[in-house]
Structure 1
Amino acid sequence: MNDITPDSAFRQARARHEAGQIDEAAALYRGVLDCWPEHADSLHLLGLLEAERGAPETGLALIAKAMAITPGQAIHHNSRALALRALGRLEEAVEDYRAAVALRPGSGALHCNLASALMDLGHGAAAAAHYAEATQCAPDQPAIWYNLANALAEIGPAAQAEAAFLRAIELEPRLVEAQGNFGRWLMRRGRWSEAAARLTIAVRLAPGDANYWNNLAVVLQELGRHAEAIVCYESALALKPDLSDAHYNLGCLLHLEGRTDDAVARHRAAIAADPGHGGARIALCMAELPILYDTQEEIAIRRARYAQALAALAASAQDAEIAAALAPAISATQPFFLPYQGEDDRQLQTLYGEFACRTLAQAHPAAPLAPPPAASERIRVGIVSGFFCRHTVFRLFLESWIEKLDRARFEIIGFHTGKTEDAETIRAAQACDQFPREPSTPEGWREAIVAAAPHVLLYPEIGMDPVSGWLAAQRLAPVQCMAWGQPETSGMPTIDHFLSSELMEPEGAERFYTERLALLPNLGLHYTAETLALQKLDRSLFDAEPHAPIFFSGQALYKYLPCYDSVFPRIAAAIGPCKFLFIAFAKSEEVTAVFRARMQRVFAAAGLSAEDHCVILPQMPQELFIATAAASDVILDTPGWSGGRSTLDLLGADRPIVTLPGAFMRGRHTAAILRRIGCEETIASSLDHYVEIAVRLGRDRASRAGLAARVAAEKRRAFEDMDYIRALEDFLETAVRGG
């Protein structure tokens, strides 16, 4: 090489390196070093090349020699950091990246490299700060804005994350990763329509990416566009048949569609594709609980299958690897539909609750708990719910807890774990002493709760919101309580008390709960009636004859057990022309079709036509729901699982309500409400008595009018019960302070 200079030989080597001709480049670098052993640039780039092709120790030694010859070079620190990262020495890599940035603070690329290493170490806030610096150095680089958005997506603030995504997309609309990840970020916040728009762009830009199809399917499912969602899931699986998430998500949708056995098959496929898919393992168990039953006999069959699946799930958690996979998926799907079978669920719920708590206890260290409050210190009450928004749970419990508890005695901290935010969310944030907004993962909420150090945690329900269920299965406060938003024992040893109603519980109700039962006065809530301007509906909308009675039965269809179906044709047979108004299942026409078929069978068995008597109305807003009841003559409560909030709201229709109290609290809400307002004549003692009352009211217009007038006059007694609030305050004091 005597006829060329070291710089010209080096340029040849670097050209091969940049062209991807790695072996040729390495040989040329070594040729330079054979002649000029202290050629720093060749030492540096040969070291970088060796690190990149899997020999980081060799690369590190070469880069160190270059740094000794020409110290203070930012690019050398950057390359050494790359080699250190390849060796897993992340902390040292960060120090070198910091040195590089200090030497060249105006380099966006160096800030990005440092940020990437910080992300690997879990230092999200520091990483975001350096990505932000990089955007100042290179404001027109969409990839940098995209990286900043991803960092902020994990730590917030949410507004800055959204702005970074939008800036990246503005600079390069075809940056599919930005479109897709922005769509996922919007999904996490429940902004489904916006997410659909972004993910639709992503699948158009990258139609061969199964993950984008899967995510779009999830969004369409949430928007109620089930047929389109199924097509997208199938597209994802056509591209990648072993995409376990697509099998799992499709299984969840098929369960919602009432296709129980197909759902089970999909969850099995997800587990076959990925034995470590904890969500699919849990969903496989929960899929054995249909939304609605075709026959009463089916309940026993499904219950036995669920019990077997639950036992198998709990046993599988004895394997450490499976338990680790199950832990983050706890409560992703829950036994929500179990109590709708109408049985005593304590044994099954205990098995589920102990499994959930044990699995999470193995996965997470015990959380530090708040010490007892000082005598002069307010009790910190943490309220954990996914429903700090316009929702039944907010109206039944959260509203009064955050606004009526004595703030001289209690500090209120709201943890809104749900995705929906509306005017009630803003109202709740203003009413609470603290209302953390940024956590977007279950782990983030756990950290937020631990940081707040509540003396007591209140869960208005366990079994509906997935994140609340995950948190409830852990001990995060010295005292933990649940209310009856889902009126079923949690079975969790982490939940100490079940806050119930003295009017709703049957005698000896303690045997149905693993928690200690706290019977609060009257209805066990402080509920405020809404003032609504009701539209007067014409009876002809329901195709009713002029003087034929209309019975309103507007509960969720999964409350209707087949064993009670006969009450409707029995009433019709005794009265003659009449109408029964039901409301379709909002999320699936298939589920509604099962109920419609049941009505057709039971009416036909009585020699009647369901089409002549049954009207299944679409889902409707609250004002129209009550107006429909007001246009009816009699309200029929569902035996087995009665109306709760719906009955309280239906008092506004000023109509007599017929109810049959069940064996469990969930079947006794309406009876308690009627007792509270002094209208007990329509509380039946048996199914025959229920039919008898309904028939009498259907025939006797004067009797109906008299009862309606009494409901109108006395319904106020069901609302705004401050005795409940004072009793709840005393209970919390005793539970936290003792005595």
Structure 2
Amino acid sequence: MQRLPELYKNLGQESVHPKSEQFQSVLNQVEGKTTANIMQLLNFAVECMEPDEVYCEIGCSHGANLLGSLLNHPDQIAYAVDDFSSLDDSEEKLEILSNNLSLFNLDEQVLFCDQNFEEFFFDLKESQSDAKIGVYFYSGNPDYRSQLLGLLLVKPFLANPALIIVNNTNWSSVQQANWDFIATHPDCQLLLNLPTPTENHFTFGNGIQILSYDMTQESHYNWSEYSQKFRNPPLIQAISDLHNDFEFTQKPQAVNTLYKEALYLHHIGDFFPAEKKYKEVLQWHTYHADVLHDLGIVYYNLQQYQNCLSHLLQSLAIDPASGLHHYSLGLVLEKIGNIPQAIEAYQKSIQLNPKLINAYNNLGVILCQTDQFQDAEYVYRQAVTANPSHFGSYINLGNLLLEQHRNIDEAIELYQKALQLKPRDPDVMQNLGIAYDLKHDPAKSAFYFGNYAHIRQNYEAAIEQYEKGLKTQIGKSSIYINLADCYEKLNQEEKAINTYHEGLKHYPKTPRLYFCLIVALQNFGRIHEAITVASQAAQLLPNDLILKIEEQRLLPIIYDTPEEINFYRRRFIQSLEVLIEQTTLDSPEAIEKAKVGIGARTNFYLQYQGKDDLELQKRYGEFVHRVMAANYPEWVKPLPMPSRSQNGKIRIGYISNAMYSHTVSKLLRGWPRNHDQKKFELYGYTNYAKIDAMTQQFAVYSHAFYHIPGDLEELCQQILSDQLHILVFLDIGMHPTITQIAGLRLAPVQCTTWGHPITSGLPTIDYFLSSNLMEPENGENHYSETLIRLPNIGVSYSKPALPKTRKRRSDFKLRSQAVVYLSCQSTFKYLPQYDYIFAAIAQRVPQAQFVFISHSSDSITQQFAQRLKKAFAGFGLDSEDYCVMLPRLNQNDYLSLNLVSDVFLDTLGWSGGNTTLEAIACNLPVVTCPGEFMRGRHSYGILRMLGVTETIANDEAEYIDIAVRLGLDPQWRKSIVAQIVANHDRLYDDKTCVEALEAFYERVVEDYPRKPDFI
């Protein structure tokens, strides 16, 4: 069989139209044969077609009708369309169809399209083929919309004249669709209506109608004839009732989803699509005040102020008591220069909603601009009184006092209050710099200007200001920490370390200084120094558990030798036991310190040693649980399964610190995106400080979404109040607060996922949601949780959009003729025992170039480069001739790098997940070798799902052989690429795993507290 897209262009010959008399002969033959069947009918019809016309069949199933239509017509081409990919037994059906066509030597005549008919006709249009359809047979879904749409979509491609044959006309919905099409197309008429077969009648299946399409003729029906013959009042009433049912049952949910989508688009600044969505909502809710208001704000952002004003006035006519709507009216009135009415709108807003602080502040700004400073000060003080926790009012009042040079000290006091509410606000820092400059305190002024520059990530300017201040005054400990951080960001290692030591001279008992110095030393690869400092700090400050825990968990980011891995692993195990034994929870102070200690960092680097971490994770997980239970005894008790919502839905919560543009979100957002909203009510929770477009996507998918940074207790309380049935941690072990929360019991059932593919070890996590294709046979032995093997790779991953503007090889310092091997994992994934693989490939592929992504620390990058140098030297090669270290790239540049590369080399021990999925989207062959644990088998599972398994190695030697062959055999490489391109649809946006996940959710809630009898 041939695929349609590749052959559209080959059919572009001008048609010679058949004569209508030939079609009439078809009818005569059919009417004259009581034993005729549908295959004979189609064969008669195809015989009448001109050679350059094609036959089109929607709903080809096993191909019986295709066989009948094409037999004895060896020169005719047929389009055959059926959506097999949506069926569970698609491969079996495709095989049967293929065998049937092969048996009758019809393979080359049939252009088969595995897609729904709507997609087919859109593809046909894009192909710009001139070929016309002489006979069209529709045997698709017998619902009204599908039938009518099938006729409307085929119309532009029909020859003139053409024959339309419709199956399943015993369905009243099909009949009505046909008749409605005829009523609106005078060039189409019903020629023959063959009823459903009876015991003694001809066998035309479920009824057939034959229609002619001829633009040279018109058929006219008068109302009496049409009404009597073609209108089915009960069906029309049923369609109307269906619409009404939707209005009262489905509309609230559908409109709510549409409104959320509009709000999301609005939030990310995609205003024109947001406008369209808002208008669609208004088609359902013409007098929805909030939607009118939000659409008005879209027009405000588009600077269409009259449109904005019109919609805001409409919203106020519906809801005149909305303070927010009056505030927005003030915004647009101010923008068009109607200041008196803007003032009135802000005042009305404050009257209706005294907590709407922005109205006070905007009103105050207008009063200042019109030199009404006393009134403005009164308004700002009102704002402070109305909401003492809103930092902006303190800033505005402070600015007024500062600009008037009336009371600099009070202005500084106001700024300090604002800073307490928002500790890292750059504007407050800048204003304090100005205030202290006016007070002739240059050191403090410089420190605050330095803080401002540091927050803005202008590290050179920050260093200049901090050093300026330190020349005349000792800074707070935070100044030394910030200054050292600036040097770290600029990779000025020695200056960073010296700054921390300088700070410790002045503040020798400040735990935060020690902690930051220890982390910096680890990040610079100076692990011995880090351990020494941690040990000294723990002895100097024995009551500080953070320093004790850091001393215990310190591990190199990368290792020089396998022996070094074993050394640090033994040290970690011994230190962990000592820590657990020596940590007491016998006083409120000790309990609080233990919570702070485990909330500093995680055991993140332990997992990158390539060992079985189950027992260590369980030991640490039990410790975390014990600490959290001591702090929150009421939040670790078993919870009963709550009743379902009134609508019968199961409440699922998803929580992560990574609900932004992060690998975890890219991998797992497909779950909430594809959940059945009729069965599940989704709740989202994130504690990450910032939000972005990805965060908003999670919000759109959620019934309720909570962004609660920096407050563990508020976040936990919110989760508990939502009375979830199941709480799913998208990742555990990457962020300390999430690990702390996971040590509690906030829902009857708690799960984690392969967003971080390592067991949590926590007794409070019940299930690990994984991938059937990635897990080894003994996978359940690697988890403290019950393992759930979801189908395929376990996630529904969207195919990434490739950059429109792409970079070239030269932009990445790559040779144009090189065989480029991309190996782009985080540096800590590379274990020293596998370094030789790159050199072994280079020895056999002289044109090889290996591309790596640098670590954020130059020292770690250099340490890795030295390892490679040693490995290549062992093969008599110079690594600098082969290896390229690139800085971290933005998404578009990174995808461009994939697009200019030849081969993707997976890391052994910890495989690529998101990176592999992106590489395949860029059609890169992926070489992988599955490891012992699931975290080393991601690419293996992805390639199995893709159906491209030739590049999966059984061992390191075969891995090298495959990589070498891909480099030296461009034809084989092209064949692998062709397979990847052809099979993309198998991999991306998989719904099967979501359906299985939903089945698991339903089962676990239904069976609670008994665990389901499957894993």
Indicate the TM-score class for this superposition, using the shorter chain for normalisation: 0.7 to 0.9
Question: Larger deviation: 452-461 or 504-513?
Answer: 452-461
- In structure 2, distance between residues paired with 1:489 and 1:619: 29
Higher relative contact order (CA 8 A, sep 6+): 1
2:621 pairs with 1:353: yes
- In structure 1, distance between residues paired with 2:457 and 2:927: 41
Residues 72-83 of structure 1: pairs in structure 2 closer than 5 A: none
Partner residue, 1:313 = 579
Aligned pair in 2 of structure 1 residues 266, 454: CA closer, same or farther (>3 Å)? farther
1:381 to 652, 662, 665: 652
Q: Is the 8 A contact 1:534 1:626 kept in 2?
A: no
1:428 to 669, 675, 698: 698
Partner residue, 1:573 = 843
Partner residue, 2:735 = 465
Partner residue, 2:594 = 326
Partner residue, 1:208 = 474
Partner residue, 1:477 = 747
2:869 pairs with 1:637: no
Q: Is the 8 A contact 2:412 2:435 kept in 1?
A: no
- In structure 2, distance between residues paired with 1:599 and 1:470: 38
Partner residue, 1:705 = 974
Residues 117-156 of structure 1: pairs in structure 2 closer than 5 A: 128=389, 141-142=410-411, 144-146=413-415, 148-149=417-418, 152-153=421-422
Q: CA deviation at 1:370?
A: 7.0
Q: CA deviation at 1:332?
A: 2.0
Q: Is the 8 A contact 1:243 1:270 kept in 2?
A: no
Partner residue, 1:589 = 858
Letter in 2 for 1:414: G
Q: Is the 8 A contact 1:382 1:412 kept in 2?
A: yes
Deviation track 1:163-201 (CA, whole Å, cap 9, x = no partner) reads 8877777766669999989999x99xx956389988986
2:457 to 184, 193, 218: 193
Q: Is the 8 A contact 1:210 1:235 kept in 2?
A: no
Q: Is the 8 A contact 2:806 2:893 kept in 1?
A: no
Letter in 2 for 1:474: L
- In structure 2, distance between residues paired with 1:319 and 1:435: 35
- In structure 2, distance between residues paired with 1:210 and 1:679: 59
SS in 1 for 2:707: coil
Partner residue, 2:540 = 273
Q: Is the 8 A contact 1:644 1:669 kept in 2?
A: yes
Aligned pair in 2 of structure 1 residues 703, 278: CA closer, same or farther (>3 Å)? same
TM, length-normalised to structure 1: 0.75
- In structure 2, distance between residues paired with 1:409 and 1:177: 58
- In structure 2, distance between residues paired with 1:130 and 1:483: 38
**Aligned length in residues:** 608
2:605 to 337, 354, 362: 337
2:941 pairs with 1:675: no
Aligned pair in 2 of structure 1 residues 210, 408: CA closer, same or farther (>3 Å)? same
Q: Is the 8 A contact 2:521 2:527 kept in 1?
A: yes
Deviation track 1:62-87 (CA, whole Å, cap 9, x = no partner) reads xxxxxxxxxxxxxxxxxxxxxxxxxx
Partner residue, 2:870 = 601
Q: CA deviation at 1:265?
A: 1.8
Letter in 2 for 1:489: T
Aligned pair in 2 of structure 1 residues 605, 215: CA closer, same or farther (>3 Å)? closer
2:883 pairs with 1:619: no
2:931 to 635, 656, 662: 662
Q: Is the 8 A contact 1:372 1:737 kept in 2?
A: no
Question: Larger deviation: 501-510 or 438-447?
Answer: 438-447
Letter in 1 for 2:754: W
SS in 2 for 1:435: strand
Q: Is the 8 A contact 1:393 1:485 kept in 2?
A: yes
Q: Is the 8 A contact 1:183 1:194 kept in 2?
A: no
Q: Which runs of 5+ in 2 are unaligned?
A: 1-376, 402-406, 1009-1015
SS in 1 for 2:548: helix
- In structure 1, distance between residues paired with 2:888 and 2:462: 29
Partner residue, 1:251 = 518
- In structure 1, distance between residues paired with 2:764 and 2:480: 35
Aligned pair in 2 of structure 1 residues 419, 130: CA closer, same or farther (>3 Å)? closer
SS in 2 for 1:419: coil
- In structure 1, distance between residues paired with 2:557 and 2:506: 31
SS in 1 for 2:633: coil
Q: CA deviation at 1:652?
A: 2.3
2:503 pairs with 1:236: yes
Identity, % of aligned positions: 34
Question: Larger deviation: 144-153 or 557-566?
Answer: 144-153
Question: Larger deviation: 544-553 or 666-675?
Answer: 544-553
Partner residue, 2:956 = 687
Residues 497-576 of structure 1: pairs in structure 2 closer than 5 A: 497-533=767-803, 538-539=808-809, 547-576=817-846
Q: Which runs of 5+ in 1 are unaligned?
A: 1-107, 116-123
- In structure 1, distance between residues paired with 2:955 and 2:965: 15
Letter in 1 for 2:664: V
- In structure 2, distance between residues paired with 1:165 and 1:588: 28
- In structure 2, distance between residues paired with 1:461 and 1:612: 39
Q: CA deviation at 1:436?
A: 2.6
Partner residue, 1:93 = none
Instruction: Find the structure with the greater CA-based Rg.
Output: 2
Q: CA deviation at 1:583?
A: 1.7
Q: CA deviation at 1:482?
A: 0.7
1:301 to 561, 567, 579: 567
Letter in 2 for 1:394: S
Letter in 2 for 1:326: A
- In structure 1, distance between residues paired with 2:803 and 2:392: 53
Q: CA deviation at 1:426?
A: 3.3
Residues 383-422 of structure 1: pairs in structure 2 closer than 5 A: 383-397=654-668, 399-422=669-692
Deviation track 1:487-540 (CA, whole Å, cap 9, x = no partner) reads 100101111111100000000111100011111110010110111126565556
Letter in 1 for 2:657: G
SS in 2 for 1:725: helix
- In structure 2, distance between residues paired with 1:546 and 1:192: 39
- In structure 2, distance between residues paired with 1:218 and 1:466: 23
- In structure 2, distance between residues paired with 1:711 and 1:683: 14
Letter in 1 for 2:757: P
Aligned pair in 2 of structure 1 residues 191, 164: CA closer, same or farther (>3 Å)? closer
Aligned pair in 2 of structure 1 residues 456, 226: CA closer, same or farther (>3 Å)? farther
Q: CA deviation at 1:704?
A: 0.8
SS in 2 for 1:487: coil
Q: Is the 8 A contact 2:667 2:795 kept in 1?
A: yes
Aligned pair in 2 of structure 1 residues 462, 199: CA closer, same or farther (>3 Å)? farther
1:362 to 607, 620, 630: 630
Aligned Cα root-mean-square deviation (Å): 3.6
- In structure 2, distance between residues paired with 1:534 and 1:129: 43
- In structure 1, distance between residues paired with 2:787 and 2:448: 46
Partner residue, 2:1001 = 732
TM, length-normalised to structure 2: 0.55
Q: CA deviation at 1:162?
A: 8.3
SS in 2 for 1:436: strand
Q: CA deviation at 1:202?
A: 7.6
Aligned pair in 2 of structure 1 residues 454, 439: CA closer, same or farther (>3 Å)? farther
Aligned pair in 2 of structure 1 residues 164, 573: CA closer, same or farther (>3 Å)? closer
Q: CA deviation at 1:359?
A: 1.1
Q: CA deviation at 1:418?
A: 1.4
Deviation track 1:462-491 (CA, whole Å, cap 9, x = no partner) reads 111222122112222211111111110010
Question: Larger deviation: 553-562 or 318-327?
Answer: 318-327
Aligned pair in 2 of structure 1 residues 547, 183: CA closer, same or farther (>3 Å)? closer
